[in-house]
Structure 1
């Protein structure tokens, strides 16, 4: 969610909304200051999200399998972990297990700094290396430079994620619009909404949504080698190439046309998501991490999803990682918890609550919308369409993307200057190989 899951960063909707960070301590004492009766676990998923629900059940399962050991938690946000993880993990306050964003700029950087435990032996012994598909486990492994895709295992995802177009079927029907199956359909819909004084796209310029719109526009003109050059340094990245230029110019044009509100430059992801939940925004392009929440809360209208039309590539990857800090005091318990989150029981629950499981029993997924979500992911995965996130390549790039994309939203910067700024920050951060 990105480093911004989101999901940079992101990662995750509930997280960016100020969701839960679970903290606890556990069983075998190695080096941290740990209570052997508590597993210290941090995660930042919202309690109503698919992952939040599944991991709450995993905690119950863990405690049932480990009599006398408890899991404690304290509330933190995605942004807090994003900014403080290196400092916390270099102290005696490090948890035994934590969720952390995947990619070179985040988990890769921590692995390079020696702050994470090498999980390679556990991955082989417990079968995690065989359970996860190649596309999903790309973000689990990092080389000595902290570059993903090869080397030692430093993290384990137990779900996958990808971006899609969420659209309000009732609003589309109100204005006589069909589901956007082609890019022209999408543009026609946005023009129609603007003509009726409705801003088509929910957006958050202060966080990850805006940069993900722009990256998706670039991906629609890109291929796998382009992605590998940008994300894995397997070639030269030129921010003035055809794909990036198209993306920046189109994004700026969309602002002028009213597809993206200028005032959204200061909006957070939570506000954008809520605008869709309340039926005010016809379209939101974002990740599967919203899916479970929309199922639970967007109940006053009919809505659907589709992959970004006219593009084989979209933002996505294995989900955020379970990482074990180097200084964790209860590593065996941490490994046991990871096992539980990968069990069929928890994976099936995650799938039925609107997540994208990596090890579920397909026959156990019964919810119609969940089936659609997983089918779209399988389509995307089958065509090698997971293109990671724009903020991943270099440390600090998430903040650069936020601030520079805000300037495009307000019109204070032209596309050429925007691309110049990205090139400078990217080149400064690319490791020497």
Structure 2
């Protein structure tokens, strides 16, 4: 995921504490019958539903084998991964966040298994589009996009605009297809006393809007420069200058509430569900929840005026270097990539990466997947703005908050977010 902050509900879903016995001695051999599995998706989520079925199929196809599943929280795994994976208590397969600062860092530390041979042998490398495979491969610097395979994603995600059809109809607003039309729509809402955009400035949502504005002036080469360090990025170039100036302008015009600097993602989502705002720009991870909870007519549209959108593969299945039953881990990953599991994931509100789309029958799921297909067909996956450097998430949150509360001018904010980015780029030899 986007290295997004998980909601309190997901974090609270953890039922077992991480235990790390970093004792001495060599790695023990597995029994070939027990698969130790960790992930942090809720049981009712699309991934949780699909992976529960995958566990059943794994045990049915491996007589005498048993999956020992332990549900962890995102924060538990994020905070303790290096310690646990460097011990003999490492799981055989686990879900882990993708990107340079996450899976890339673990691969550089030698804590993950190189699964390149398995990816080719089992067809995973062919099943994933190049854009989705980017987050699965890391070079010796821990930078994604090339090198060896250290993980496999079996779902995807992207950022879109959620809109309230009832409020759009009430104020005679059409779904925009250009940024100019979006600004006209927001001006109409504002003139009627309605703040158009629900925004969470205290966490990830605000920086997604900032990044989308930059992407509207960018191309694929700029994305690769920014994310993969292929060439130097000018933080006062047209892309980020437009993003900072336009974001600040939207605040000044009342399209974004000045009080949203302190709003968390969960509060933003609830406010949109309560119909306080007609538009919410955020990720597909909200989609299944909105299907269940939104009590009004709603839909989605891709952010207008750009072919590039924040998004990526989902989190990765990784096999720790100290896993004791690696072959069983590969077999389980393979099952999660099978069409029947992928189709189940799709019909449960997720975005599969290798499904038979003719088997996706749920109408809302079809809409979600169709928009994602539009993005991938135009090579529009642009990852997330906080990925390039460790700690960059907090840098961007602070920077965009200053655009919201007006405590710094756009050019000063660009200077502020440029320094840690450039420092890390120099550190890894970009």
Do the two structures share a fold, i.e. TM-score over 0.5? yes
Shift of 1:156: 0.2
Question: RMSD of the TM alignment (CA)?
Answer: 2.4
Cα distance change on mapping 1:366 and 1:423 into 2, 3 Å = same
Match of 2:227 in 1: 231
Cα distance change on mapping 1:21 and 1:115 into 2, 3 Å = farther
* 1: CA distance, partners of 2:42 / 2:324: 26
* 2: CA distance, partners of 1:393 / 1:164: 22
Q: Is 1:184 paired with 2:180?
A: yes
* 2: CA distance, partners of 1:397 / 1:377: 26
Q: Is 1:415 paired with 2:403?
A: no
Match of 1:126 in 2: 122
* 2: CA distance, partners of 1:153 / 1:241: 34
* 2: CA distance, partners of 1:266 / 1:91: 39
Shift of 1:272: 1.8
Task: Indicate the larger mover: 97-106 or 300-309.
Answer: 97-106
Give the counterpart of 2:206 among 210, 213, 221: 210
Task: Indicate the larger mover: 315-324 or 260-269.
Answer: 260-269
Match of 1:109 in 2: 105
TM-score, normalized by length of structure 1?
0.90
Q: Is the 8 A contact 2:39 2:72 kept in 1?
A: no
Cα distance change on mapping 1:195 and 1:339 into 2, 3 Å = same
Q: Is the 8 A contact 2:345 2:352 kept in 1?
A: yes
Cα distance change on mapping 1:14 and 1:368 into 2, 3 Å = farther
Match of 2:69 in 1: 72
SS in structure 1 opposite 2:71? coil
* 2: CA distance, partners of 1:84 / 1:360: 33
Task: Indicate the larger mover: 301-310 or 373-382.
Answer: 373-382
Match of 1:169 in 2: 165
1:193-244: CA deviation from partner (whole Å, max 9, x where unpaired): 3333333222222221111110010000111111111111111111111110
* 2: CA distance, partners of 1:383 / 1:32: 47
Q: Is 1:41 paired with 2:37?
A: yes
Q: Is the 8 A contact 1:31 1:327 kept in 2?
A: yes
Q: Is 1:62 paired with 2:55?
A: no
Match of 2:327 in 1: 332
Shift of 1:373: 1.8
Match of 2:394 in 1: 399
Give the counterpart of 2:317 among 314, 322, 327: 322
Shift of 1:102: 1.4
* 2: CA distance, partners of 1:297 / 1:19: 20
Shift of 1:412: 1.8
Give the counterpart of 2:252 among 250, 256, 262: 256
Q: Is the 8 A contact 1:9 1:101 kept in 2?
A: no
Larger radius of gyration: 2
Task: Indicate the larger mover: 338-347 or 277-286.
Answer: 277-286
1:104-148: CA deviation from partner (whole Å, max 9, x where unpaired): 222111111111111112112222112212221111111111111
Cα distance change on mapping 1:235 and 1:74 into 2, 3 Å = same
Shift of 1:309: 0.6
